[in-house]
């Protein structure tokens, strides 16, 4: 069961959660994958509510987003099992089923094809309306040194229109 929420009422909560990490979930075909992200933001652009997610081009998530331009943002509410972050933040979905390995439970979506994650109940369903490549070489040297160990690890910014926002409830 989903309890609808107003994204604006939860924007600060989402921003604070990003500092610790949230899950970005993607799906292409029958393959569902979640990764931990700490970069992103909620806002409005083109008179639409959006979540902008930044994904390195070398990540499996990038591959899945290119195959199916939809995603969910899954935010913990209260406590959660940190083991999910250890798996979803350090392992590749190319090599394993991270959802199963982390003991996560998928929840049927409302408006996109990508499920939410029950254990991370604050859910934003997003459909990509714009993507933009970000070239690390254009960044100041101090940022490149800190965040980019290899020149080819550029990011893509995925602007996802928020098509549904809710809390997953039992």
Which ranges of the chain does DSSP label H, i.e. alpha helix?
A: 7-20, 60-67, 83-90, 98-101, 141-147
Instruction: Please check the confidence at residue 93 and state whether its pLDDT lies above 70.
Output: yes
Confidence of residue 9 (pLDDT cuts 50, 70, 90): very high
The larger pLDDT score, comparing residue 121 to residue 170, is at 121
The larger pLDDT score, comparing residue 157 to residue 79, is at 157
Are 68 and 113 spatial neighbours (Cβ–Cβ below 8 Å)? Answer: yes
Closest C-alpha to 13, from 82, 84, 73, 61: 73
pLDDT for 81:
77
For 40-109, where are the E strands, in sequence order? 40-45, 48-56, 70-75, 106-107
Q: What is the DSSP letter of 4?
A: E
Are 70 and 112 spatial neighbours (Cβ–Cβ below 8 Å)? Answer: yes
Render pLDDT for 116-154 as a digit per residue (tens, 0 to 9): 999 999 999 999 999 999 888 888 988 888 887 766 578
Domains in the chain (CATH in brackets) are 2-168 (2.30.110.10)
Render pLDDT for 35-68 as a digit per residue (tens, 0 to 9): 999 999 999 999 999 999 999 888 999 999 999 9
Give the integer Cα–Cα distance in Å for 70 and 164.
12
- The residues, any chain, with a CB within 8 Å of residue 147's CB and separated by 6 or more, are 136
Are 124 and 146 spatial neighbours (Cβ–Cβ below 8 Å)? Answer: no
């Amino acid at each position: 069961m989903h309890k609808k929420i107003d994204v604006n009422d939860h924007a600060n909560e989402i921003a604070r959660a990003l500092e610790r990490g949230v899950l970005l979930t993607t799906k292409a075909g029958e393959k569902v994958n979640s990764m931990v992200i700490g970069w992103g933001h909620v806002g409005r652009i083109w008179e639409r509510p959006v979540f902008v997610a930044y994904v390195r081009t070398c990540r499996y998530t990038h591959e899945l987003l290119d195959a199916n331009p939809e995603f969910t943002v899954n935010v913990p509410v209260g406590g959660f099992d940190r083991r999910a972050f250890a798996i979803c933040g350090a392992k590749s979905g190319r090599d394993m089923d991270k959802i199963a390995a982390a003991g996560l439970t998928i929840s049927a979506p409302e408006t996109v094809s990508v499920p939410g994650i029950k254990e991370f109940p604050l859910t934003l369903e997003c459909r990509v309306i714009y993507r933009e490549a970000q070239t690390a070489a254009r960044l100041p040297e101090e940022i490149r040194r800190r965040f980019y160990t290899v020149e080819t690890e550029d990011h893509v910014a995925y602007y996802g229109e928020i098509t549904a926002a809710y809390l997953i409830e039992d």
